[in-house]
Amino acid sequence: MEIPASAFDEIIKELERRPLEVNKYRIKTGEGRSQAFGVVGRRNLAPDYSRQCWKRPELYKHLLDFAEKYVDISYNAITLNQNYRTLPHYDKHNIGDSYLVSFGDFLGGDLILHTDNMLEYIDIRHTPMKADFSKILHSTESFEGNRYSLVFYQFHLPNKPVNLPSPSVRIENGEYKFYRGKEWIKKNVGISHNLKKKKE
């Protein structure tokens, strides 16, 4: 199913207004800007929602709205890439099929599958691909222009089950607010946890 280009307009508009930060944890798997929304691992703590959810609630809402219309897999995490060219890698901490789609104004940028000493180039611009990328070595073809991509997936860590209140973003008095269940997570406070309390 091809997704209309207009479906990505609000996401692109927000990224042009405020580009993603470089993710220092992903510099070994590629070059560019990449951030995770939804559930993430937190070192010695149980998985919880990424700080991107409450620091960039407007962008997160656009991602959730897009998913409600077009994403047909179960997911609890989203990776958003902005001009990020991945090196050959397997996705970590994903379970089951992921949903991958690219968009933007660019040349090249196909998804490359590395299988049996062969390279398969797949155009995923506006055309989602679903597969278990934790089992498929894959990368991104070089590109020119502004290339964005979205990956929706089920985050999973052995022995650390994800059991969290549902996320949502509400617009209240003209302000975008991220809610963890019924709890409003304020931008300058974030989610409290034991390590933070010890430092205080």
Phi-psi region at 183: left, alpha or beta (left = phi > 0; alpha = psi -120 to 50): beta
Percent of the chain surpassing pLDDT 90: 78
Closest CA to 114 of 136, 92, 146: 136
What is the model's pLDDT at position 122? 98
Note the pLDDT tens digit of each residue in 131-165.
999 999 999 999 999 999 999 999 998 888 888 99
Mean pLDDT of the chain: 92
What is the model's pLDDT at position 193? 59
Structural domain for 54, as ranges:
5-199
User: At residue 82, does pLDDT exceed 90?
Assistant: yes
Q: For residue 168, what are the β-bridge partners?
A: 179
What is the model's pLDDT at position 176? 97
Instruction: Give the count of domains, the chain.
Output: 1
Closest CA to 58 of 174, 160, 181, 180: 174
Read off the pLDDT of each residue in 80-85 and give the average, rounded to a whole number: 96
CA angle 16, 21, 23 (to 5 degrees): 140
Read off the pLDDT of each residue in 56-83 and give the average, rounded to a whole number: 98
150-183: b (≥16 Cβ within 10 Å) or e: bbbbbbbbeeeebeeeebbbeeeeeebbbbbeee
Read off the pLDDT of each residue in 26-53 and give the average, rounded to a whole number: 88
In CATH, what number is assigned to the domain containing residue 187? 2.60.120
3-state secondary structure labels for all residues of the chain = CCCCHHHHHHHHHHHHHCCCCCCHHHCCCEEEEEEEEEEEEECCEEEEECHHHHHCHHHHHHHHHHHHHHCCCCCCEEEEEEEEEECCECCCCECCCEEEEEEEEEEECCEEEEECCEEEEECCECCCEEECCCCCEEEECCEEEEEEEEEEECECCCCCCCCCCCEEEEEECCEEEEEECCEEECCCCCCCCHHHHHHC
